[in-house]
Structures are given as structure tokens and as C-alpha cells.
């Protein structure tokens, strides 16, 4: 479990160094401290950024931060055991830990997706988590971006 927490820590630190990081967690986990309105959410998503006005601390055991919920501050404790995915919100590049995924939610993963690292779109609908592979992943090939090239006659 310690190596899994270290892996979550490393991925979070890497994404934070690049910008925003979305942390998906099961807020029902006993050691999670979030506002009561979110405590029963198995798919709570929180966005973190190093430019937050309020300080937050990322340790190998979890995340400790004062976050704002509806304009009210709350000192949150998020142990990495409760975290089941971390990704960059725009590109959805990140990782899902299936072994940490809440058992009462359904994880739908594309048929050819064999690894937990993905550049897929992660969505929650009616208690069901869906990972949709990007078109680049689906085709298996990548198009070269040649928008910077121009024709010279």
C-alpha cells in the first residue's frame, strides 16, 4: 500500500508542477475530512493548483488543505487510500487505480485499454464512471501536427 501511495504522490506532484490536478476520491472513506454535504460522495473531484491562495500540503500519506466549498472554508484531509484517480482536468491525462476504485461504482473502460495510465475522458453519470479513450488512442496512430508548416513556391 505504501508504494501505491508513493505512486499517487508522485503523479500528483508531477501534475501540479505542470498546472492543475484533479483528484478523484471516495469521500465516504473514514479518514477523509470534507464538508458533510460531500461526505457521501464516492466520486468527489477536487482541483488543486500550486497557485492556490491558501496553502496546502501534499505528503506521502495524503493531502492536507483548506478548501472553499460554496464560499466557506474547510480544512480537508484526503488520505491517498481514498484517492482512486488523479488527472489533468483539460487533457484528462493521468491515472486511475482500479484497486482503489469504490466497489459500488461501475468502471467502464474501453475494450483495448489494458493499463491504468490513460489519456481518456473520465466522466461520472448516475454513479457510473466512464473512461472514453481519445481518438488518438482508439486509432492507435497519431497524426502529425503540421500546422506550423507552410507551402513555399
Burial degree of 28 (CB within 10 A; 0-12, 13-18, 19+): middle
Q: Mean pLDDT in the chain?
A: 77
Give the Cα separation of 114 and 148 in Å (integer).
34
pLDDT tens profile 16-39 = 999 999 999 999 999 999 999 999
Cβ atoms within 10 A of the Cβ of 57, count? 8
Query: What does the domain layout of the chain look like in residue ranges?
Result: 2-139
CATH of 2-139, one of 3.40.50.970, 3.40.190.10, 3.20.20.120, 2.30.30.220: 2.30.30.220
pTM: 0.69
- Helix ranges (H only) for the chain are 2-18, 135-139
Q: How many CB atoms lie within 10 A of CB 23?
A: 26
Q: What does the block give as the cell for 79?
A: 488520505
**Cell numbers linked to 139:** 486509432
Amino acid at each position: 500500500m505504501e508504494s501505491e501511495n508513493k505512486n499517487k504522490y508522485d503523479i500528483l506532484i508531477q501534475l501540479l508542477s505542470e498546472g492543475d490536478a484533479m483528484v478523484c476520491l471516495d469521500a465516504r472513506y473514514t479518514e477523509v475530512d470534507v464538508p458533510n454535504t460531500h461526505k457521501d460522495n464516492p466520486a468527489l473531484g477536487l482541483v488543486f493548483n500550486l497557485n492556490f491562495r491558501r496553502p496546502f500540503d501534499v505528503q506521502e500519506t495524503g493531502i492536507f488543505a483548506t478548501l472553499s466549498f460554496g464560499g466557506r472554508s474547510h480544512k480537508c484531509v484526503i488520505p491517498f487510500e481514498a484517492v482512486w484517480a488523479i488527472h489533468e482536468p483539460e487533457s484528462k491525462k493521468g491515472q486511475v487505480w482500479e484497486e482503489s476504485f469504490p466497489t459500488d461504482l461501475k468502471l467502464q473502460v474501453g475494450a483495448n485499454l489494458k493499463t491504468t495510465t490513460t489519456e481518456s475522458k473520465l466522466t461520472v453519470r448516475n454513479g457510473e464512471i466512464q473512461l472514453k479513450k481519445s481518438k488518438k488512442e482508439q486509432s492507435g496512430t497519431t497524426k502529425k501536427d503540421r500546422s506550423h508548416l507552410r507551402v513555399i513556391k
